[in-house]
Amino acid sequence: MVEFLTFHRHFVIPNHYFRYHDFNEFCNTGLIHLANTFEPARYAVAAYAALLYSAFRRDQRAREYAFLYYAQSIYCVQGMMNEPGTMPALPTLVAILELGSFEVCYRNLAALI
């Protein structure tokens, strides 16, 4: 997972999130900070980074990791939803939106890189 989070920090740009500018560097700094402090966000960011990594490096194993991390993030969010009062609002929203970024249907994923 560390490899994909490092890949996200160094290679993922705001355009991967369909953003033109990222003045406060949320796509790299903010997401990585939340990923380091909140487990569902960590798995969601790692899933998206692994998906991009798999397209960039043509690595089928990274794509498998992407789906494993995606499923783990959903599992963590579901677990928190079942325990009232344990779900922080902003990090949960970020994890869900990150998973939504994963769901975007790209016609040509390699063109984004």
What is the average pLDDT value for the chain, to the nearest integer?
76
pLDDT in tens, 13-65: 666 666 666 666 666 777 778 888 888 888 988 888 888 888 777 878 888 89
Name the residue with tokens 């579901």: 78
Res 76 pLDDT > 70: yes
**pTM for the structure as a whole:** 0.76
Phi, psi of 2 (to 5 degrees): -60, -40
Using pLDDT thresholds of 50, 70 and 90, give the confidence band for residue 110. Answer: low
Note the pLDDT of residue 102: 66
Which residues does 32 contact at the CB level (< 8 Å), separation at least 6?
5, 8, 9, 45
- The CA distance from 57 to 36, in Å, is 25
